[in-house]
């Protein structure tokens, strides 16, 4: 691996990595992000992630599913965020594999946020 000597080289490397991972400035792709820090994993994020990958690959293969670290609200894990072009992100909390299919069917396919699973839902 080449040694980086300047800030410009580092910035160019970062831009290239973001472009190749589709996580950078892409504003055309819907992304689903599952919090997979230790707090999320211990709360059950792994089966949520696996269910999301399975459902999306079957029903909406043009949507990208990825993992991220801590989202910052550990007491509400597992957490899933939906990032749609031109819209505010939607944060789903206390997720389970059973809830994933409804998110895919209602939100990702029919553009209807599943309000009762969101961070702002009344309990």
Residue 83: how many CB atoms within 10 A of its CB?
Answer: 18
Tell me the CATH architecture of domain 23-117. Answer: 3-Layer(aba) Sandwich (3.40)
27 pLDDT higher than 90: no
Mean pLDDT of 9-16: 79
Q: In what order do the strands lie in the sheet with 31-35?
A: 64-68, 31-35, 80-83, 90-92
Q: What pLDDT does 5 receive? A: 80
117 pLDDT higher than 80: yes
Peptide bond just before 78 cis, omega within 30 deg: yes
24 pLDDT higher than 60: no
User: What is d(CA 82, CA 13) in angstroms, rounded to the nearest whole number?
Assistant: 27
* Mean confidence (pLDDT) of the chain: 88
Q: What pLDDT does 121 receive? A: 73
Q: Scanning the structure block, which residue is given the tokens 């999301």?
A: 52
pLDDT in tens, 38-58: 999 999 999 999 999 999 999
pTM for this prediction: 0.77
26 pLDDT higher than 70: no
User: Which one is predicted more confidently, 121 or 91?
Assistant: 91
């Amino acid at each position: 691996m080449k040694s980086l000597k300047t800030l410009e080289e580092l910035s160019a490397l970062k831009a290239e990595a973001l472009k190749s991972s589709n996580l950078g400035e892409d504003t055309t792709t819907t992304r689903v992000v599952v919090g997979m820090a230790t707090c999320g994993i211990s709360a059950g994020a792994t089966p949520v992630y696996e269910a999301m990958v399975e459902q999306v690959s079957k029903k909406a293969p043009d949507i990208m599913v990825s993992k991220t670290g801590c989202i910052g609200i550990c007491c509400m894990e597992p957490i899933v965020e939906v990032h749609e072009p031109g819209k505010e992100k939607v944060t789903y909390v206390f997720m389970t594999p059973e809830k994933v299919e409804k998110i895919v069917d209602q939100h990702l396919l029919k553009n209807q946020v599943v309000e009762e699973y969101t961070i702002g839902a009344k309990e």
